[in-house]
Each structure stands twice: as C-alpha cells, then as structure tokens.
Amino acid sequence: SIVWMNGAFIDRSEAKVDIEDRGYQFGDGIYEVIRVYNGQLFTANEHLERLLGSGDKLSIQIGYSVEEFKGLLEQLIEKNNLETGIVYMQVTRGVNSRNHAFPAEDTPPTYIAYTKEVARPTEQLDNGVTAITVEDIRWSRCDIKSLNLLGNVIAKQKATEADCYESIQYRDLTVTEGSSSNIWIIKDNAVKTHEANQFILNGITRQKIIELCQGNDIEVVEAAFTIEDLIDADEVFLSSTTAEVMPIISINNVPVGSGEIGPVARKLQQLFQDAIERECNQ
C-alpha cells in the first residue's frame, strides 16, 4: 500500500522510523483516526482541527493547515482505492538524541498517514455489544489525543480478557469514557454523556451525536454521571469513529435496561446513518 510520510507518498515497505523518534521512545506525539465512507472523508475538518488543537496543547509545531492535510488525505485515499475504512495519521515531536525535555524548536515533526479497509460493524450495530467497568488509571489530560495510550491499552485488554467489547472507565464514582470510545446513558428519554473536560477525549462522533440530538428534539445533557446512574439507565451506548452509535446490552454480565436495544439508541443510529449518507453521498 501507499503511505504518506514527511511530505512524500511512498510504499509502506519504505516507511521507516528512527529508533530515537520521540513518538517511539516517549509516546510524544498525537494522532487521529478519520472514517472513510464511499471513498470520502467523514467529519474531516473536525478531526483535523482536533489534531491541530492537540498539537497546540503539547507545543508540537504542525506545519500543515486543515486544508493542506485534507488534500493530502484525499490523494492517499485515491492512491489506495479505499472505499470503506479509515485514515490513521500521527505527528510526533520528531527525532532527537534521547532526553525528556523538548528538542530544539527547529526539530521537524515526524508525520505519517496511512489507510486501512475497515467495514462498518453492522452485526454489532444491530445486536449490541457487552462491556465491563474498570477504574480509570489514566492521567488528567485525556482531552489530548496523544500517543500515550497505556492506560487505554490496559483497559481494553481487561475487556478482551472478559470476552467483552469495551471497558467503561470510572474515576472515583464518575463514569468518564471507554478505552477508545465515549459512553452515553439514556434515562426517561434524556441522553447524557460526560462533559468535555480534561478527563475525556471530546469525540468527534460525540459532537456529531449531540448535534443530531439538538436538531431532532432529543434532550441531551453534557454532565458527569455515576456508576449507579449507569447501572440504572434505560439504555447505554458507546460512540467512536469506527464504532459509530454502538448499543451496549450488558455491563458486568448484567443486562442493561430491558436487555433489548432501546428506541433512543435506534433513533440515533438512524440519524447517524442519514448524516453519513448526506455528507458522503452514499
């Protein structure tokens, strides 16, 4: 396949990372995953703006604008004939003799982007998935989409070992987010998800769902909720770029609500599907 690295389109086998790249040694970098439907980027501006925002928060000087990145990613999609899948892109603080402190300001970042075929998870969207709860052991800048994913990796591994799809993390009594998703509850037809602060990643899918709720008379609240609220919810779902609006049908082996996927999650799935069709001419 063809990948994009540091300004050039090259064969994947030619793409090499230095052993002293700061992404490799420190996880000192940021990334994005953008959905591609029908050969077209979905919510690309939002993802690329978040990438530039993560760069700002970490003082990584990104030398491309949203428009420039978008043009490059469109070329990459075309070169790889991608129809349905994702673009993965990351930017690290570059290569420097190992030292925790930042390298000189003129050190160029390391950029990569590549595509991958990823089908929509239709079976799981139809039938729902299972989850467990785990303590959130991560740092307090989860708003930055950084390469430092060890807390998330450990949380996802726990879910995998429990034969579940996702881990729902909690800090003290508050539900924060999944290992790679945002978490939502529905009680008496009102939709709730953790507010966008430093304890969660403000998902692009999350923002799209909020917009869809507001445009369709569905009550939506951005506020912390407790584990007790989670257990007591009528419906629970998770959201992410690859998983879209994914119903959760059991948590810690206990059925959610009636045990069936609820009407609000179904409605949001439909609204999300409509948005994909609208924005990607499907």
Q: Which residues are catalytic?
A: 145
Task: Write down the least CB distance from residue 227 to ligand PMP, Å.
Answer: 18
Pairing state of beta strands 129-135 and 244-251? parallel
Closer residue to ligand PMP (CB): 21 or 46: 46
- Interhelix angle 204-215/44-57, rounded to 10 degrees, is 130
Which among 37, 106, 32 is positioned nearest to 280, based on CA atoms? 37
118 by Cβ neighbours in 10 Å (0-12 / 13-18 / 19+) ranks as middle
Task: Write down the least CB distance from residue 228 to ligand PMP, Å.
Answer: 22
Report the alpha-carbon distance of residue 196 to residue 222 in Å, rounded: 8
* Residue in the block written with tokens 């629970």: 236
Answer yes or no whether residue 181 interacts with ligand PMP by CB under 6 A.
yes
Closer residue to ligand PMP (CB): 2 or 149: 149
Task: Write down the least CB distance from residue 255 to ligand PMP, Å.
Answer: 24
Closer residue to ligand PMP (CB): 93 or 156: 156
Residue nearest to ligand PMP (CB): 203
15 by Cβ neighbours in 10 Å (0-12 / 13-18 / 19+) ranks as middle
Report the alpha-carbon distance of residue 142 to residue 171 in Å, rounded: 12
Closer residue to ligand PMP (CB): 90 or 182: 182
Task: Write down the least CB distance from residue 88 to ligand PMP, Å.
Answer: 11
* Residue in the block written with tokens 């002293």: 20
Answer yes or no whether residue 203 interacts with ligand PMP by CB under 6 A.
yes
Restricted to residues 22-51, the positions that interact with ligand PMP (CB under 6 A) are 33
Per-residue interface string for the shown chain with ligand PMP, residues 211-250, x marking contact by CB under 6 A: ----------------------------xxx---------
Report the alpha-carbon distance of residue 118 to residue 15 in Å, rounded: 22
Binding stretches for ligand PMP (CB under 6 A): 33, 152, 177, 180-182, 201, 203-206, 239-241
